[in-house]
Structure 1
Amino acid sequence: MRTDLLGLTADSLAALTNRGLVKRAGKEPAPELRTDPDGTVHGGFPDGLTATLPPGGLDLARCTCAATGVCRHVIGVILAYQRRPAEAAPRPLPWSPGEVTDEELTAKIGARSMAAARRAERSGFTARVRRATSGDPVPQVELTTTTVRFLVPGDLAFVHTGTVAGGRDEVIALAVWAFRVADALHPGVPEVRVDVGGEVEAGTGSGLERALGLAGTVLREGAAHLGPGLEATVADVQHHLDTAGLRWPLLAVGDLAGQLASYRDRSSHYRPELLASHIAELHARHRAVTRPDATLRGSVLGTGEAAETPLGRTRLESLGCRILGRGDQRIAEVYLAHSDSAMVLVLRHQWDGHDDTAPARRRIATSTLAALATGDLVTESAIRSASRTVRLAGGRISKSTVSPSRGGWGELPPSLVVTDFAALSRELDALPLRPLRPRVEAELVRAVAVTRVETITYTPGDQRLDAVIADQAGNTATVRATHTGAAPGRLDSLAAVLAGEEGEPRFVSGVVGRTAGGVVIEPIGLAAGGRVIVPDLQPAGVSIKLAVAGEERHDPLTTALLETRNLLAEAAHHGLSHLPPTYDDRLTTAAQRLTTIGLHRTAQALTTFATTRTHDSAETAEHAWIDAYLRLDTALDLT
């Protein structure tokens, strides 16, 4: 009996091939089957074609038709085999991929792939393990680069990943080892995040020493006093981090350099608090991997991440698009859900803002931006970066097709769909601290189910629209969008869809977060009336009548934290060596205010920074500034 073929569900077959092929196979005339003693299944079709399935996976299947790869005849043989009365489907037994031995892994993926996987394990990596349930009988492991799904219990021939051949084998080993750790530390827990490997030898450091030197120079001199002469140093640091495979610090240094360039260009993209946060982030990552109870290098430094990962034949479902304006430039960010890896990828396109072509009509590859932002992309040319951006490889664009989407986002992986706002709030609470999380794009993009829209209001002073939506349990969240000249139709379109003028809104997609303890969604798309609507791509229209909200006032705690963080960000802007004489007095006042509202440790960190500026070395003052800024930034994230 071929238990591997009997264990394949329609969803598993669709994951290994595609859903359309499985549907076409189901419409084919039933083949005549015979089975060899070694388990090889042969299927003969009425038109004379023959498909053969030896044990060992679909890659070994052969058919006499002209199709390359797995064809509908091979799938038809599997479906016919499952329908045979004598082949009763076995009852699935509790099984964990962690039961697979290293010997079995080596036999499947080979010694070379095992060696590559061991190198990744030594660096350490973080994985989210999901055990099989009655609703989803396929155990799976979400790695940073892909999701590994074990489709048939105990059979490594039927493992699905989102990577192409070559990078596929080693992630199978990583997923098995992640299950072993989960089985040992968290037995029976349906879903758990685990750290695997990552033993760091004493005295090895973080590898960020050059980056910390660059951050120290910026903090001492400030953006206001640094000229273009720092570019060579930045390039050297980036080359060093890239060579060492430190992906997340490399991206942080890139953003730091971008803020300095924005200041020199007098760009509105420059913000002192962003500059300060990039400096503090580099120190936070260094401290996390060098302290006695060091966090895994892989999760904090991105050492196990490939710079780019080619994807196989991939289906990407658009969740919408955001249009950004940076000076004279316009940037479109299309958010694409990759179901196979349970992650959202970002496709970027940039153009000159003086070009009068409407954003929706702009061409990206062979499609318009509007088609990509509201459709399903099937491509063989997608290449994903470590930060989860995606590009379409040149020369293979013709192998990409786009079809309209009806916004069936409820069928996306559960980790990308929000139906319970209270559960979402708990998920946000459990996230690692922001300066230590993997630097991935669209980390918090979700498709949020809308049961009803309670209110829609407009705040004129901030040019902001707020819509309160509710889930089935009555929990609420706020959909929040702000006007921008780069997307003049954003607010009008969003208000119209949420008011039901385009049909009943079923989902709103966007970046989820929290403000003042409540869940907030920054929208990028909506599903309503059997289609996807992207507010940022709509032309300015006639505004619907909205209730005018009063000006928002932060609570005293949030106000104090924001103002104190901005005070510390001034140090990164002007430089510790160039602060005005009144700065220390302002630090003292801010510390007293934080003490009054009960934030004693944060106030003490501020006082320590003020003291070291007067009595200690420049290096000590830098470290005191880092301590104070990280405390403030963390407190703001938790409010």
Structure 2
Amino acid sequence: MTINLRNDLMELGSEALLALANPGFVKRAQKDVAAGNVPELKQDEDGTVHAIFEDGVHTSISPTDSLRDARCSCAASSMCRHRVTLVLAYQLANTDTSATATANPDIDNSFWTPAQFDDAAIAAGFSVQVIEQARKLAIARPIAKVRNAVISADGISNPGVILPMSHVRFFSRTSLAHARCDCQQGSACAHVVLATWAFRQAQQSQPGVAEVSLEVLLPGQNGETVTAEKLLQTDSAKNTLADIEAYLWSVWRDGSAQALPGLEARHASLQAGVQALGWTWVSTALDDVWHMLEAQAHRSNRFDIQDLSDAIAQLWARLQAARHADTNMNAFLPASQVLGIGQKGEVALDLLRLVSLGAQFWRDDISEGVSLVFADPDTQAVSVLERAWPLAKDAKEASADISSLLQRRLAGLSVKLLAGGQVITRAARRRANACLELGANARQTSVLPLSPKSFDDLVAPLKFSQLGTLRDYLRQRPPANARAIQSGADWHVLELASLNLEHWSWDAARQTLFAAWHGEPENRLHAYLPYQHLTPGAVDAFARALNGEFGELLSLAGPVWLEHGQVCMQPMTVMTAQRAIVLALEAANPQQMSLQQMPLPVSAEQALLRETRYLLNQLLRQGVRHATPSQRTRLDAQARQMADAGYSKSAALLQAIFTEAGDNHNTQSAQGLTKLENLSGLNLLIQELLA
């Protein structure tokens, strides 16, 4: 059977089949084909392929069908193993023919882009209604992140586009029918058309670039000069910007420990204005600041004053970036992307496969909760499932650990089962900030336990096999104030095969277990796991893994950041040769550990920067208005030390906090907003110097 070779079927590799079907059907089909249990194949002149199985099941797929649209006479209502087996059997039967075609020197197999699909291909593959829906979406000029196919040692990655609320991937060079979207429709939807247009624009503006962010335009607008809409020139936008800055300054002015009722009313008013303007990322950033203020007031174990300081600085910087983009035609990112316009609501997802990366538990005076972090092997995206419950009245007499939290139910399943498993569900909805919700119908969700191979399907930019590659990725990504605000965005997986464990110890003063691995010269991974009273077994389990009790360490998963040019991680899940370990779920099992203080900053200058940040955090907690004379003297001396060390810009910003001209602490005063600018700018500058 060599006539009319179906290249679209020959192009569907394992990754494509896993995305278009599901792991269970793919594994069953691969097993059957390997055992020689293949169906009889026939191909019509129009290209339709038929598979007739021994049990009489008849499956067929035409050139315009996606894998899900293939017809099958079995009892399955949608996807089934017969469809996958048809593809694998067809590939097996035509391997020689495919190899001959691949060897043709006129065919470039090294790179491809969906930009090659023209209007005729779109018209042939999509209904008029779907194309019109795509045009309506494009009128709003949504932001798209275009990821071209990338050649690596592992082969050629599949191209894809991240759109607001949906991810689209292309698996065939010859057919749009096999493009996969994670929306509820799954394929042949308006998002696929929109993604194709995005690839055309990327090919025209920045050909060959691995990743491009752009506003998707209607095809007729490509190449034309489009006057950008001034989003921040309206009275409502100007007033909202001024109110947000006044709100942030009031936190600095009166301190983060101030009474919350007044701030709560202002927060609610600000959210109403921001949501009316459609500024999704600004709304999310405001919520982040507010939740941290609540966590401090309720004495939650999830509160960290440095996180609050960073959140305020990042929100202020996002507003400045939006102002710049709104008045500058050549801005790196459009104002709509910085503000998050078009990123709203939530979307129902198709069949979703999730792999747990770890769990974080928290408790305060009035509630307790959990954040479950998952990776999607299909889209390489991270999502977070969060839930909080009122604290029981007798909580003070209850155990201080998380035993009760682990038995809480989400979608009919225990938190412990979800946190340590691989989830397959048809009941998921995703919000713009990558937070998930699972439907209450437990029949639509199933869970399998994690295994040492659970991370095998993860790739960059989620999983990295080389430490240097991860470090370069962290260095090259846009600044936090310009990125989409996605929960779990800092979580990554790092394989340890190319690294050697140098040492690990327990710092009793800081109550932290730390470890260091080295790879290339002067390139190290530093892991820090602080003790948490809710999860006392995490430190013990990590120590056992470092001791080799569970075999070779394969990989670590958790939040990642840069410090002094080195990659740092808080490990949350450890993969070993014998088992997968979600550290927060482990029972306490005291281990003997060597005692050693964590290494101090590598230079006096870095120690000075850390001390300055500590003093600023004290000021934020107490409030600029309530600074004592001794505090002012201490900060003035710190500014002189910063200047002597060569940090003249940082020193000037620090000295400006208590100048006479700025002693008017009125919330709406120009001096107050100047102080907010100085404090936020100083925080961001120290972050950059310490990274």
TM-score, normalisation: structure 2: 0.83
CA shift in 2, pair 1:580/1:381, >3 Å: same
What is residue 313 of structure 1 aligned with on the other side?
351
Which of the numbers 164, 172, 192 marks the counterpart of 2:211?
Answer: 192
Q: CA deviation at 1:343?
A: 1.4
Residues 260 and 534 of structure 1: is their aligned pair in 2 closer, same or farther, counting only changes over 3 Å?
Answer: closer
Q: Who is 2:88 aligned against?
A: 79
Query: Separation in 1 of the partners of 2:299 and 2:55?
Result: 71
Amino acid at match of 1:344: V
Alignment counterpart, residue 256 of structure 1, candidates 286, 289, 294: 289
User: Which residue of structure 1 aligns with residue 118 of structure 2?
Assistant: 101
Q: Distance in 2 between matches of 1:475 and 1:213?
A: 43
1:613 maps to what in 2? 662
Alignment of 1:233-252 (within 5 A): 233-252=266-285
SS at match of 2:525: strand
Q: Does the 8 A contact of 1:127 with 1:144 survive in 2?
A: no
Task: Give the 3 Å change call, closer, same or farther, for CA 305–600 of structure 1 in structure 2.
Answer: same
Deviation per CA, 1:563-585: give whole Å up to 9, x if none.
Answer: 43454455654555555456654
Q: 2:494 aligns with which of 422, 426, 448?
A: 448
SS in structure 1 opposite 2:572?
Answer: strand
**Structure 2 residue 378 is the aligned partner of structure 1 residue 378:** no
In 2: Cα distance, 1:623 partner to 1:168 partner? 52
Alpha-carbon distance in 1 for matches of 2:381, 2:256: 36
Contact 2:301 2:363 in 1 (8 A): no
Deviations 1:589-613, CA, capped at 9 Å, x for gaps: 3332221111122223334444440
1:493-526 Cα shifts (integer Å, max 9, x gaps) = 1101111012222112111112233211101011
For the 8 Å contact 1:558–1:636, the answer to whether it is kept is no
Unaligned stretches of 5+ in structure 1? Answer: none
In structure 2, C-alpha distance between the alignment counterparts of 1:272 and 1:35, rounded to whole Å: 66
The answer to whether residue 68 in structure 2 is matched with residue 30 in structure 1 is: no
Which moves more between the two structures, 45-54 or 336-345?
A: 45-54
Q: Which residue of 2 aligns with 1:201?
A: 229
CA contact (8 A) 1:129 1:178 kept: no
2:641 counterpart (567, 588, 593): 593
2:422 maps to a residue whose letter is D
Secondary structure at 1:37 match in 2: coil
Deviation larger for 164-173 or 629-638: 164-173
Letter of the 1:368 counterpart: S
Q: Which residue of 2 aligns with 1:368?
A: 414
Deviation at 1:33, TM superposition (A): 3.3
**Alpha-carbon distance in 1 for matches of 2:185, 2:622:** 51
Distance, in Å, in 1 between the alignment partners of 2:461 and 2:274 is: 32
Distance across 2 between alignment mates of 1:166 and 1:578: 57
Please give the per-residue CA displacement for 1:458-509, whole angstroms capped at 9, x wherever unaligned.
1111111111124488942111111111111121111011110122221121
Q: Which residue of 2 aligns with 1:536?
A: 584
Residue 59 of structure 2 aligns with which residue? 51
Cα 1:633–1:459 change in 2 (3 A) is same
Relative to structure 1, is the Cα distance of residues 538 and 269 closer, same or farther in structure 2, using a 3 angstrom cutoff?
closer
> Which residue of 48, 61, 67 maps to 2:70?
61
Corresponding position of 2:451: 406
* 1:107-137 residue CA offsets vs partner (Å, 9 max, x unmatched): 62623431343145x2534444444667135
Q: Deviations over 1:122-160 (max 9, x none)?
A: 253444444466713522334564442211104211101
Counterpart contact for 2:245–2:673, Cα < 8 Å? no
476-485 or 413-422: bigger deviation:
413-422
Identity of aligned residues (%): 27
Structure 2 CA distance for aligned equivalents of residues 106 and 567 of structure 1: 62
- Aligned pair in 2 of structure 1 residues 285, 524: CA closer, same or farther (>3 Å)? same
Q: How does 1:401-550 map to 2 (within 5 A)?
A: 401-408=446-453, 409-451=455-497, 452-471=500-519, 475-549=523-597
Structure-2 change in CA distance of 1:45 and 1:474 (3 Å): farther
| Cα distance between partner residues in 1 of 2:160 and 2:38 | 32
| Partner residue in 1 for 2:224 | none
320 and 471 in structure 1: CA distance in 2 versus 1, 3 angstrom threshold: farther
Maintained 8 Å contact 1:602/1:632: no
Is the alpha carbon distance of 1:385 and 1:315 closer, same or farther for their aligned partners in structure 2, counting shifts above 3 Å? Answer: same
CA separation in 1, counterparts of 2:689 and 2:149? 27
1:151 corresponds to 2:171: yes
SS of equivalent to 2:189: helix
CA 1:622/1:168 → structure 2, altered by over 3 Å: closer, same or farther?
Answer: farther
Asked if the contact 1:561–1:632 (Cα under 8 Å) also holds between the matched residues in 2, the reply is no
Contact 1:63 1:74 in 2 (8 A): yes
Q: Which runs of 5+ in 2 are unaligned?
A: 218-226
Aligned: 1:180 with 2:213: no
CA apart distance, 1:278:
3.4
| TM-fit CA distance, 1:362 | 4.7
2:134 matches 1:117: no
Which of residues 325, 343, 350 in structure 1 aligns to 2:381? 343
Give the match for residue 223 of structure 2: none
Q: Secondary structure at the match of 2:89?
A: helix
Residue pair 1:445, 1:510 contacting (<8 A) in 2 also? yes
Match of 1:623 in 2: 674
Cα distance in 2, alignment partners of residues 623 and 391 from structure 1: 41
The number of aligned residues is: 636
CA distance in 1, matches of 2:254, 2:665: 17
Which residue in 1 is equivalent to 2:18?
14
Structural mapping, 1:291-310, within 5 Å:
291=324, 292-293=327-328, 294=331, 295-310=333-348
